[in-house]
Structure 1
Amino acid sequence: MSFACVKRKDNFKTVEQFHFKLDFLILSFFITTNANPLRFLHFLTIFSLISSFHSSFSSSSSSSSSSSPSIHDLLVSRGLPKGLLPKEVKSYTLSDNGTLQVFLDEPCLTKYENRVFFNTVVTANLSYDSLIGVVGLSQEELFLWLPVKDIIVDSPKLGLILFDIAVAYKQLSLSLFEEPPHCKPQGTSMALIKLIPTIMFSLV
């Protein structure tokens, strides 16, 4: 009851202000009810320990969540457009050697200039201005699905980005990648069909 009243009447800007107010209310309660001082001291010690633990946990959670940028912010920090990867990216990992793994819930299809297919896992070596050795990304060219091997910001001043699609290099406008696109889910069978050219080219 006291907590509801405090929450309704006061706007606490920090956790410490709230704990101070709550401590004051507890102290007032024990004084007015003539409670045993030893019991009060024991209770207050336990309460303080719980409060300290809660504050430390909240701080560590906040710092850990803020320390990992989104995949799109990561791309921008490495000189790449954030629209290279779709909004549907679930998570990613980045190792010390630069290996980037991007995870989606399921294979999906989107479009830049042509249609592009993302597998459930997309892997590449991330360096400044480039994604090298891409696996899990294909682009449609003349009704064929060709694997995208490398993506390089070729001429940032000219607003161009280079796609290595195994049989050729293709320059695209960076304006196509200004925002992360929506990616339409694809079935497993369709995903396997689109991956066949990727497997063939990897064996060459």
Structure 2
Amino acid sequence: MTFSSSDSHLLVVPTARTLQGLLLLLFLSLAFAETNLSDDPTAYELLERFNFPKGILPQGVQSYLLSEDGTFDVYLSGDCEFKVTSSYLLRYKRKITGTVKSGTLDDLNGVSVRVLFLWFGINKVVRSGDELHFYVGPLSASFPSSNFEDCPRCRCGFNCATPLVSDA
């Protein structure tokens, strides 16, 4: 088939089959993009990749940002406070920042502990074997990492009563 110069203004009208194909391609592209977005690890999964138990963060992480240099921002749904033991009350602010590398959380901001009547900022957490060392300035307290296997809940911490389910 040959076209003359007068045929250069040909109007191409898409058929229903062509439109269906384009819509299918668009749908598959959007579905693939959605799958890639949802494959991002959660903040809790990232903690485990850096050799920390997920339970050092409370439930309720809404989002996070992690830079290539290890600096991070974690966003909770709101400020969070709970007792760890009879001696310690922990407070997480809505935004927590710091730097992470394998086995070390450093330059922490947004996490504090109350001892007696005074609040102190936890500025570093180091994992050493099965122990986690929490630093408040030059002082530290150590706990077994197994204490942090589950994520605490705001207000009730690790000792939340589970609701009873009736057999009715």
**Does 1:134 pair with 2:97?**
no
2-structure distance, mates of 1:117, 1:176 = 17
Greater than 6 Å deviation, 4+ residue runs: none
Pairing partner for 1:105 from 55, 77, 81 = 77
Instruction: State whether residues 112 and 176 of structure 1, in contact with CA within 8 Å, keep that contact through their aligned partners in structure 2.
Output: no
Which residue in the other structure is 1:23 paired with?
Answer: none
Which residue in the other structure is 1:122 paired with?
Answer: 96
Q: Deviations for 1:129-174, whole angstroms, at most 9, x for unmatched residues?
A: 11001001001112211110100102x2xx2110101251111121
**Does 1:152 pair with 2:121?**
no
Give the TM-score of the pair, scaled to structure 2: 0.79
Structure with the larger helix share: 1
Q: Deviations for 1:48-76, whole angstroms, at most 9, x for unmatched residues?
A: 1001110111012102211x101111000
5+ residue gaps, structure 2: 1-12, 157-168
Give the TM-score of the pair, scaled to structure 1: 0.66
CA RMSD in angstroms, aligned pairs only: 1.9
Question: Which runs of structure 2 are paired with 1:156-171 in the superposition (5 Å)?
Answer: 156=129, 159-166=130-137, 168-171=139-142
Pairing partner for 1:174 from 134, 145, 148 = 145
5+ residue gaps, structure 1: 1-38, 186-204
Which residue in the other structure is 2:42 paired with?
Answer: 70
Instruction: State whether residues 131 and 151 of structure 1, in contact with CA within 8 Å, keep that contact through their aligned partners in structure 2.
Output: yes
1-structure distance, mates of 2:146, 2:102 = 19
Pairing partner for 1:43 from 12, 16, 24 = 16
1-structure distance, mates of 2:114, 2:34 = 42
